[in-house]
Chains A and B, each alone.
Chain A
């Protein structure tokens, strides 16, 4: 099993980046309908530069999720994002896409950036 599939590893990575003053976002599949490529609970950790560890789409709908995640990271606001994979055209990469899923995007900010009130 690759270490990226491991929750302990993802959490460590997230904390490490935050400690360095970077923003990250954890993306989690929370609901699926139809035959989606990933199961509920699958996670992806996205970094500020757009790189990520793990995958919630296996190539399907990933560009949309990534774009939305970078936006959420910018604003600092968590969001529930709806992904329709039924119309996805990822044939070129050979991925089998299908189904509908909701992913929850949770940005995490470095501690000194956190809002104070």
Chain B
């Protein structure tokens, strides 16, 4: 009799703990159902990291291979779901169901610059479920009193902070420092690293100057083209709060796969009907 309670996946559980602690992304594949013939134990686990490392086994090399292949797909779509597998030689086919579970950290909003836009932005981010981190080199701005909702406030230089800052595909980076030299310095340290979102504030002209400089230095054009700059959706922002709203709206649109287009203009126009009836009528 196979007791699957603890033995399978012991090293997976410590690997999982590490993934969670280090805010990394992984697919934990768990056998949740087996056919009577299956020799694969229930609760067997395999962990596939976003960066590629694989820990554990489900008890069959053939099944492992198929599951690892699917794990890559799930890591891409970030969707957890149960998938059925059939494997083994024809006369002794085994059927199992495997739960692909995407483990990912709470999305983090990394606000670079603690100026007047950062204050409402940190508040919005926190309300929308982000872990909010604010960094600025001025202690007068980067402090708890100013950012009561932030999970972390770092008062240190942009360069020294960002150089070793852990960033991955769950990190939404918003660069809004007080000067475009700091914006540029911060951008350099993040460009080319995987992010969920990378945006930089500035007028079209100023943004162009920065991007051109970096392109001339040999930065990849596609990488530069993926930077959201000027940052935000067009909502006609004027006040700091409105600018923060425009930024967080773009962040949410990227997180959830939205387009930012007004819903009223998406798809076919709503048929208003004859005789000037109201849109909301039946």
Interface residues of B in 1-38 (CB under 8 A from A): 3-7, 13, 16-17, 20-21, 30, 32-33
Query: Distance (Å) between the CB of A30 and the closest chain B CB?
Result: 4
Inter-chain contact A28/B101, CB cutoff 8 Å: yes
Inter-chain contact A41/B5, CB cutoff 8 Å: no
Say which residue of A28, A77, A80 sits within 8 Å of B4 (CB atoms): A77
Say which residue of A6, A104, A109, A114 sits within 8 Å of B99 (CB atoms): A104
- Report the interface size for chain B: residues with CB under 8 A from the other chain: 25
Say which residue of B3, B17, B81 sits within 8 Å of A76 (CB atoms): B3
Inter-chain contact B33/A80, CB cutoff 8 Å: yes
**Chief secondary structure at chain B's binding surface:** mixed
Interface string of A87-112 (1 = CB under 8 A from B): 00000000000000010101111010
Inter-chain contact A78/B99, CB cutoff 8 Å: no
Task: Considering the complex, give the chain B residue whose CB is closest to the CB of A116.
Answer: B7
Q: Which residues of A contact B17 (CB under 8 A)?
A: 8, 11, 15
Inter-chain contact A109/B5, CB cutoff 8 Å: yes
Interface string of A38-79 (1 = CB under 8 A from B): 001100000000000000000000000000000000001111
Query: Distance (Å) between the CB of B144 and the closest chain A CB?
Result: 18
**Alpha-carbon gap, A109 to B281, bound state (A):** 60
Residue A115 lies at the interface, judged by CB distance under 8 Å to chain B: yes
Query: Distance (Å) between the CB of A65 and the closest chain B CB?
Result: 15
Say which residue of A30, A78, A115 sits within 8 Å of B42 (CB atoms): A78
**Chief secondary structure at chain A's binding surface:** mixed
Inter-chain contact A41/B102, CB cutoff 8 Å: yes
Inter-chain contact B80/A41, CB cutoff 8 Å: yes
**Alpha-carbon gap, A6 to B5, bound state (A):** 23
**Alpha-carbon gap, A15 to B10, bound state (A):** 12
Inter-chain contact A109/B6, CB cutoff 8 Å: yes
Inter-chain contact A41/B20, CB cutoff 8 Å: no
**In this complex, which of A15, A80, A111 has the most chain B Cβ atoms within 10 angstroms of its Cβ?**
A80
Interface residues of A in 5-30 (CB under 8 A from B): 6-8, 11, 15, 28, 30
Q: Which residues of B contact A104 (CB under 8 A)?
A: 30, 32, 43, 99
Residue B103 lies at the interface, judged by CB distance under 8 Å to chain A: yes
Task: Considering the complex, give the chain B residue whose CB is closest to the CB of A9.
Answer: B20
Residue B82 lies at the interface, judged by CB distance under 8 Å to chain A: yes
**Alpha-carbon gap, A41 to B103, bound state (A):** 9
**Alpha-carbon gap, A35 to B99, bound state (A):** 20
Residue B255 lies at the interface, judged by CB distance under 8 Å to chain A: no
Q: Which residues of B contact A109 (CB under 8 A)?
A: 5-6
Task: Considering the complex, give the chain A residue whose CB is closest to the CB of B97.
Answer: A80
A1 and B106 in contact (CB under 8 A), knowing A76-B5, A104-B32, A115-B7? yes
**Alpha-carbon gap, A80 to B84, bound state (A):** 14
Query: Distance (Å) between the CB of A112 and the closest chain B CB?
Result: 11
Q: Which residues of A contact B16 (CB under 8 A)?
A: 11
Inter-chain contact A7/B6, CB cutoff 8 Å: no
A-B pairs with lowest CB-CB distance, top 7 = A78-B43, A76-B5, A30-B99, A115-B3, A104-B32, A114-B6, A41-B80
What are 7 A-B pairs with beta-carbon distances under 8 A? A8-B17, A31-B81, A40-B80, A77-B42, A78-B5, A80-B32, A80-B97
